[in-house]
Amino acid sequence: VDPKDCTSFPCLIFNDDFDFLDHEVWEHEVTMSGGGNWEFQVYVNNRSVSYTRDSTLFIKPALVSEWKDEAFLTSGNLNLWGMNGRGDVCTGNSFWGCERTGTADNLINPVMSARLRTLSDFAFKYGRIEVRAKMPRGDWLWPAIWLLPRNWPYGAWPASGEIDIVESRGNDNYGELGNQYGGTTMHWGPFWPLNRYDLTHEEYKANDGSFADSFHTWRIDWTKDKLEAYLDDVLVMTADPGSSFWEFGGFGDNID
């Protein structure tokens, strides 16, 4: 439904049951930039890593050494620049994200994974989004489902915001960072390091033991006044800035 034709809330304007992987909607990022955290995955567009089956999207990390060999990590050249358009061309060159040569001290990212986005094909402001997902199980995995700005109207991160519907971890029994736990967060603030996510962040524990054992439904209700986050229809976070995020963040008059 075109949003202009909606007469009541909620009104469905986008849905994907992943009966197939729709490349007209979902773009694969192609980069090894590491998300600004020096993460050790390289994002690729390959059906051995990301695929659909039984109306479910799977992201299945794989080792680069299985694609190349172990020596490639310390001596090979990985060139992601591409030339054939979307799905083939590198999408992020920060932190040497499009091309690297491995050395003994700076290895090629050793894990292949996938990151999909709707940047060019679908975006919305205000409404409800629901995601039904099962988190992965495996050491050092960091699953995340986010909303990011399309045009960054207030400037670079975090000024234009970020809504983390859910982040978790793959590890078993890794304190409060394991797959038994999840978190929902809004990142915002005039610039780094004045990111006041601490005011809009909540963590929670899976009611069935682990988010890697079964599917759960995360929901965001977003209006011009506030944002509410739900896990399996239970309210887990409210972000209500009152009159403004500037006052809510306590930034005052002396931001240099």
Mean pLDDT on 65-80: 96
The answer, yes or no, to whether residue 145 has pLDDT greater than 90, is yes
Q: Where are the domains positioned within the chain?
A: 1-122, 127-255
Q: Which residues of 228-251 are buried (b: 16+ CB within 10 A; e: fewer)?
A: bbbbeeeebbebebeeebeebbee
- 131's CB contacts (< 8 A; 6+ apart) are 145, 165, 166, 217, 218, 219
Please check the confidence at residue 77 and state whether its pLDDT lies above 90. Answer: yes
pLDDT for 245 equals 95
Q: Is the pLDDT reported for residue 71 higher than 80?
A: yes
Model confidence band, residue 250 (pLDDT cutoffs 50, 70, 90): very high
pLDDT confidence band for 173 (50 / 70 / 90): confident
| Residue at 110: amino acid letter | P
Question: pLDDT at residue 169 above 90?
Answer: yes
CA–centroid distance for 230 within its chain: 17
State residue 177's pLDDT score: 87
Q: What is the pLDDT of residue 13?
A: 94
In the chain, what percentage of residues exceed pLDDT 90?
Answer: 89
Q: Which helix (H) or strand (E) holds 163?
A: strand 162-167
Query: What average pLDDT does range 240-251 have in this prediction?
Result: 96
Average pLDDT over residues 188-197: 95
Residue 37: per-residue pLDDT: 86
For residue 125, pLDDT over 70 is answered with: yes
| Residue 204 neighbours by CB distance under 10 Å | 17
User: Is omega for the bond preceding 193 within 30 degrees of 0, making it cis?
Assistant: yes
Reply yes or no on whether the pLDDT at 255 is more than 80. Answer: no
Q: How far apart are CA 162 and CA 196, in angstroms?
A: 11
> What is the rounded average pLDDT for all residues in the chain?
95
Q: Which two tokens stand for residue 115?
A: 């990151």
Q: Which of 5-14, 86-95, 99-108 has the lowest mean pLDDT?
A: 5-14
Average pLDDT over residues 147-153: 96
Number of Cα atoms under 13 Å in the Cβ half of residue 191 = 3
pLDDT at residue 256, as a whole number: 63
Predicted model pTM:
0.94
DSSP assignment string, 67-102: HS-TTHHHH-EEE---SSSTTTS-S--TTT-SEEE-
CATH of domain 127-255: 2.60.120.200
